[in-house]
Amino acid sequence: MKYATGTTCRYWELKFVPKKITTEIDNRILEEIERHADGIGMDALHACVEDAISRRSLQRRLAQFVAEGRLSREGKQRGVRYRTAPEIENVKAGTSAFWTEAGGDGYIPISTEGKEIREHIRLPRQLRTPIGYNQGFLEAYYPNETSYLPEELRKQLHILGTPADGAFPAGTFARNIMNRLLTDLSWASSRLEGNTYSRLDTEHLIEFGQAAEGKDALETQMILNHKAAIELLVNESDLVDFTPYTIFSLHALLSDGLLADRRACGRIRNRPVEIGGSVYMPIAMPQRLDELFRIILSMAQEIRDPFEQSFFVMVHLPYLQPFEDVNKRVSRLAANIPLIRHNLCPLSFIDVPERVYIDAMLGVYELNRIELLRDLFAWAYERSCQQYLAVRRELVPPDTFRLRYRQTLTEAVKTIILERQTPDKEAVMAVIASKVPTGDQEKFVKLVLEEFASLHEGNVIRFGIRPPEFSAWQKEIKGKG
């Protein structure tokens, strides 16, 4: 399997075998020590776990656990005993209490594997081992052979997300719920980044351009950036794909006005970054970042199942951290590319608890484990489908005539506004010329005039018009009147 990046080619060797994760063995060792409140010696401990680990390897693991503060070492020479460090016992007790309390408020149902990840991530940062980017994590994945999402889960997601009203062109479903999607996804994704806009504030900003009082300008900018990026995904659904151009465009839109260095928008970073609250240290070399970035996108393009594609980019784009900032936002919107292209229900991240999302991403960063993120992905998608099922029932059937002339409609509206013309039949006919067959021209003119009747500064972006251009056109029309 070959992935080319410029003049450099990378082969994932079929003989490659990823290192076995030692989490299960570590847990077994620690659990055995926990059973002995007064501590346990090396001989007795090894007798309990000798089927899983050699004595020398056990000695190394114990030394590591002591260095990390997870165990205490008492006594000398053959009298040495190991026991769980008192502070770890306190942490575990506190963690258990926290999750009991949060079970109905702030967390979601998760698998046993997800709980293991959560427990590790909740340990104090100083007790977690610093780790860098593990290229073997990516190398162990073979498109259409490896599956992060089990087949049965993918089948369930397909059933949940497939519209019941037949097959339509790419992006039809997303366009039919566009106004709701713009608000939901912009609000939910921004909230995961700490944005304090309410859903109602977000709706007013997107529909009417009204910024919420008392909110930071950067929060307002973040919402509007999401709106622009979502419109790109939906309006250009037949063109967007897992290509560098698409992902760079998403980053440029999502990071607009939010980065200190404007040149960093839409390009691979050229400086090191850190992950707040994590012991993970991403790659710093731009050339290697660019190479791996293009390999990830090439692999994503090969994946046939849209849900596996979606989840793959949610894992590997933020893990690589190709951009100075806004990496997770890019991955959340990019995760919708295959869903929109296959006319499936989009993933809005509505009601996703911020704590769960952070824990899930830290599990990927620090453990290269995807189970907690997978739990979140499945729950969030089901939640999105539940939200939009009710919306879909209220929708009028898709206007196939409008779909057929979508591009021509956009060009007609945009031309009339930029040339500051009065929107009437003559102006529309002059614009469309031979682009619309004679038999459809009367209906098309009516469609254009209906669009102008509902046009305002909050939705004019659908036609690629900027607010100053729309305002100038309005003044010109009022002057003529």
pLDDT tens digit string along 370-411? 999 999 999 999 999 888 765 554 444 456 777 788 888 888
C-alpha pair distances (Å), 383 with each of 157, 349, 377: 11, 8, 10
pLDDT of the residue at 62: 84
CATH architecture of 23-84: Orthogonal Bundle (1.10)
Taking residue 172's Cβ as centre, other Cβ atoms within 10 Å add up to: 19
Q: How large a percentage of the chain has pLDDT more than 70?
A: 85
Average pLDDT, the chain: 84
pLDDT of the residue at 19: 35
pLDDT of the residue at 167: 59
Can you give the pTM of this predicted structure?
0.64
Give the confidence band of 25 by pLDDT, cuts at 50, 70, 90.
confident
pLDDT of the residue at 277: 87
When pLDDT is averaged across residues 57-63 and rounded to a whole number, the result is: 80
Q: Where are the chain's structural domains? A: 23-84, 127-393, 400-480
When pLDDT is averaged across residues 14-34 and rounded to a whole number, the result is: 61
C-alpha pair distances (Å), 366 with each of 107, 118, 169, 225: 21, 12, 40, 30
Candidate from 26-35, 93-102, 299-308, 351-360 with smallest mean pLDDT: 93-102
pLDDT of the residue at 275: 92
* Residue 73, strand partner residues: 82
Closest CA to 357 of 322, 308, 318: 318
pLDDT tens digit string along 116-156? 999 999 999 889 999 999 999 999 999 999 999 999 999 99
Give the confidence band of 57 by pLDDT, cuts at 50, 70, 90.
confident
pLDDT tens digit string along 195-254? 999 999 999 999 999 999 999 999 999 999 999 999 999 988 888 999 999 999 999 999
Residue showing tokens 């939705």: 459
pLDDT of the residue at 27: 78
**How many residues are listed for the chain in this entry?**
481
pLDDT tens digit string along 117-127? 999 999 998 89
Question: Domain 127-393 belongs to what topology?
Answer: Fic-like fold (1.10.3290)
Between CA 375 and CA 382 the distance in angstroms is: 11
Q: Which residues contact 166 (CB under 8 A, 6 or more apart)?
A: none
Residue showing tokens 């063995």: 25
